[in-house]
């Protein structure tokens, strides 16, 4: 993980240089820690503010509201939001369609410039945006900082990508012709992001949409609408025209489904659970009256990610990678390690080291920069505890397994490791999305690969091994969209690790990669005879 500070860069000049990932903040430095504490204090003073719907640049209030709460202190309201209903779908669509008429014809250079300006503004307020994540979804400082750094990366990377796409030439120029290939906008997109990366994923799907010339109806998660509202404010400050992004928090079953089903919706960009993703895909396949296209779906769904540790692995490195990948942000990542598959020859020694490492993790209010904060809400905590009880029956509890009492009623859970879990059991197959790791024993590397691949998901995975043959075998046969060798299975970096999975993990969208903007555009071949 990079820890250097971002170099000083002049506004508007970044597009002239090659893309470089935004550096992470080193919070062991006193100046950085002081700056983060100041940002937390500033954001704390703004908690509870009310935010409007934004449709066509105009602000609206509704009778029904969405309360975004602090999971570490549920009585604390982070933001009060309007709740869009079915009656807001047509106005939002009309505004987006109107804006599309001009925005889709805006030169790529101007659309890219909007993203560059947004990235500049976000870089200036990096700690402040991180602090919103600390309060709204209970990320610790490093997790929040990584989320915002990735958001900046998406601004920078997708702006460069549209400039590249706008200059693509056909591989052949026929004699007597001028042949071109244009990548043009699709139309109005529904962007439906999750709560676990409420800045990076929300912004990434939105930025890819608008830099490609599309306009957006943005429906953030009801658990994390405030960071989305702050980001839309930033886009407006950067000069985004009215109607390009329409901010509409609302329930998925009402507003969200109505947007997906609307005949003028051209595509849906979604990140979330397998169940919701499948529902969206099914709804999008219907062709209502007045629809003249096949809706495109860009779906990033769940994972049941495994790390294989072979007998010849560096054991200390493997333990650290498994623990970090399993319990970073309370295990609430689709890329989190939820299964550790350990060669039987080192199984007991691995468990001994893993138990000691996990029990060093601190859990508490993330404003104090603990290793783990709270899980997202009471419903999630209840579900996770249900999985833990099932795991106690199918396996053996190694450590954790309990809630952590909080005077403020926070949704805190101990990091939990359940071992001796058999293949095909509930905990081995289903995505838990919480701080629960299952550990399984493999006879050999072949058996470990068999276990790892035996789920309906295929998002991330990792192996720890010193054998070149086994590494090459994993590259060929470990069926995941993002495979990591001798490192943890979380922490995909824009540009280096295009992100997206196989099977029920989604449509392998490869966000943060050179193919991503193709999903938000359509190719138009133009051949002109030269006179």
Both tokens of 329, joined, read: 């942000």
103: closest CA among 223, 10, 189?
189
Element (H, E) at 267: strand 265-271
88: closest CA among 250, 229, 264?
250
Burial grade of 377 (CB within 10 A; 0-12, 13-18, 19 or more): middle
- What pLDDT score was predicted for residue 2? 39
Which DSSP string do the residues of 143-184 spell out, in sequence order?
HHHHHHHHHHHHHHHHHHHHHHHTT-B-S---TTEEEEEEEE
Element (H, E) at 315: helix 315-327
Q: Where are the domains of the chain?
A: 38-50+75-301+509-526, 305-493
User: What is the SS3 assignment for 301?
Assistant: coil
Is 334 known to be catalytic? yes
Which among 128, 300, 428, 431 is annotated as catalytic?
Answer: 300
Which residues make beta-bridge pairs with 526?
180
Q: Within 10 Å of residue 292's Cβ, how many Cβ atoms?
A: 7
Does domain 305-493 fall under CATH 3.40.309.10? My reply is yes
Q: pLDDT (tens digit, 0 to 9) for every residue of the chain, 531 residues total? A: 334 344 334 344 445 699 999 999 999 999 999 999 999 999 999 999 999 999 999 999 999 999 999 999 999 999 999 999 999 999 999 999 999 999 999 999 999 999 999 999 999 999 999 999 999 999 999 999 999 999 999 999 999 999 999 999 999 999 999 999 999 999 999 999 999 999 999 999 999 999 999 999 999 999 999 999 999 999 999 999 999 999 999 988 899 999 999 999 999 999 999 999 999 999 999 999 999 999 999 999 999 999 999 999 999 999 999 999 999 999 999 999 999 999 999 999 999 999 999 999 999 999 999 999 999 999 999 999 999 999 999 999 999 999 999 999 999 999 999 999 999 999 999 999 999 999 999 999 999 999 999 999 999 999 999 999 999 999 999 999 999 999 999 999 999 999 999 999 999 999 999 999 999 999 999 999 998
Phi, psi (degrees; rounded to nearest 5) at 492: -60, 135
| Residue 84 Rama label (left phi>0; alpha psi -120 to 50; beta) | beta
What's the sign of the alpha-carbon dihedral 493, 496, 497, 499? positive
Q: Within 10 Å of residue 282's Cβ, how many Cβ atoms?
A: 11
Tokens 């995941």 locate to 480
Q: Within 10 Å of residue 262's Cβ, how many Cβ atoms?
A: 20
Q: What share of the chain is helix, strand, coil (3-state, %, to 5)?
A: 40, 20, 40
Distances in Å between the alpha carbon of 339 and those of 71, 108, 119, 204, 506? Answer: 26, 44, 36, 28, 19
- What pLDDT score was predicted for residue 15? 56
Residues 375, 312: Cα–Cα separation, whole Å: 35
Is 300 known to be catalytic? yes
Both tokens of 493, joined, read: 């970096």
Residues 357, 353: Cα–Cα separation, whole Å: 6
Q: Using only the alpha carbons of the chain, give its radius of gyration.
A: 23
What is the distance in angstroms between the CA of the first residue and the CA of the last residue of the chain? 57
- pLDDT tens per residue across span 191-217: 999 999 999 999 999 999 999 999 999
Which among 334, 337, 431, 489 is annotated as catalytic?
Answer: 334
What's the sign of the alpha-carbon dihedral 470, 305, 140, 159? positive
Considering the four listed CATH numbers 3.30.450.40, 2.40.30.10, 3.30.465.10, 3.40.605.10, the one that applies to the domain covering 38-50+75-301+509-526 is 3.40.605.10
Residues 454, 473: Cα–Cα separation, whole Å: 16
Which residues make beta-bridge pairs with 397?
418
Which residues make beta-bridge pairs with 190?
217, 268
Q: Within 10 Å of residue 99's Cβ, how many Cβ atoms?
A: 24
Both tokens of 219, joined, read: 């429906």
- What pLDDT score was predicted for residue 4? 37
230: closest CA among 273, 208, 198?
198
User: What is the SS3 assignment for 80?
Assistant: strand
Which DSSP string do the residues of 182-248 spell out, in sequence order?
EEEE--EEEEE--SSSTTHHHHHHHHHHHHTT-EEEE---TTSHHHHHHHHHHHHHTTPPTTSEEE-
- What pLDDT score was predicted for residue 531? 87
CA 158: distance to chain centroid?
16
- What pLDDT score was predicted for residue 476? 98
Residues 144, 240: Cα–Cα separation, whole Å: 25
Residues 74, 43: Cα–Cα separation, whole Å: 17
Same fold, 38-50+75-301+509-526 and 305-493: no
């Amino acid at each position: 993980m990079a820890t250097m500070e971002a170099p000083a860069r002049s506004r508007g000049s970044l597009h002239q240089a090659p893309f470089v990932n935004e550096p992470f903040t080193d919070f062991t430095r006193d100046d950085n820690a002081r700056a983060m504490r100041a940002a937390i204090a500033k954001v704390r003073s703004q908690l509870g503010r009310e935010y409007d719907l934004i449709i066509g640049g105009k602000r609206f209030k509704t009778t029904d509201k969405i309360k975004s709460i602090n999971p570490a202190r549920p009585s604390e309201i982070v933001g009060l939001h309007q709740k869009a209903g079915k009656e807001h779908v047509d106005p939002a669509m009309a505004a987006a369609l109107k804006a599309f008429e001009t925005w889709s014809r805006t030169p790529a250079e101007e659309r890219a410039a909007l993203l560059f300006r947004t990235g500049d503004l976000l870089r200036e307020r990096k700690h402040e945006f991180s602090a919103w994540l600390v309060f709204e979804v209970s990320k610790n400082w490093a997790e929040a900082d990584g989320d915002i750094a990735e958001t900046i990366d998406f601004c920078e990377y997708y702006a460069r990508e549209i400039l590249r796409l706008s200059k693509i030439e056909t591989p052949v120029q026929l004699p007597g012709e001028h042949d071109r290939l244009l990548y043009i906008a699709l139309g109005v997109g529904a962007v439906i992001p999750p709560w676990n990366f409420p800045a990076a994923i929300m912004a990434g799907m939105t930025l890819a949409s608008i830099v490609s010339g599309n306009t957006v109806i943005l429906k953030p998660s009801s658990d994390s609408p405030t960071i989305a509202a702050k980001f839309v404010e930033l886009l407006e400050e950067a000069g985004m025209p009215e109607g390009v992004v329409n901010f509409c928090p609302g329930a998925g079953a009402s507003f969200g489904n109505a947007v997906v089903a609307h005949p003028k919706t051209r595509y849906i960009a979604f990140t979330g659970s397998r169940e919701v993703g499948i529902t969206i895909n099914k709804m999008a396949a219907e062709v209502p009256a007045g629809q003249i296209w096949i809706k495109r779906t860009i779906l990033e769904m769940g994972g049941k990610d495994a790390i294989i540790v072979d007998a010849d692995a560096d054991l200390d490195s493997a333990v650290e990678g498994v623990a970090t990948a399993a319990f970073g942000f309370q295990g609430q990542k689709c890329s989190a390690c939820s299964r550790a598959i350990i060669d039987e020859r080192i199984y007991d020694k691995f468990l001994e080291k893993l138990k000691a490492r996990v029990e060093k993790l601190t859990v508490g209010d993330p404003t104090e920069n603990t290793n783990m904060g709270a899980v997202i809400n009471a419903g999630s905590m209840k579900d996770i505890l249900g999985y833990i009880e099932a795991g106690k029956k199918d396996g053996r509890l190694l450590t954790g397994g309990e809630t952590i009492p909080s005077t403020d009623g926070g949704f805190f859970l101990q990091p939990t490791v359940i071992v001796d879990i058999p293949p095909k059991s509930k905990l081995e197959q289903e995505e838990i999305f919480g701080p629960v790791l299952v550990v399984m024993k493999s006879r050999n590397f072949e058996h470990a690969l068999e276990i790892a691949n035996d789920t309906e998901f295929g998002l991330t995975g990792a192996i720890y091994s010193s054998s070149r043959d086994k590494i090459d075998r994993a590259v060929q046969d470990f069926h995941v969209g993002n495979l990591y060798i001798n490192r943890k299975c979380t922490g995909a970096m824009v540009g280096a690790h295009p992100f997206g999975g196989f099977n029920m993990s989604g449509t392998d969208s490869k966000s943060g990669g050179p193919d991503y903007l193709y999903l938000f555009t359509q190719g138009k071949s133009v051949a002109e005879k030269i006179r």
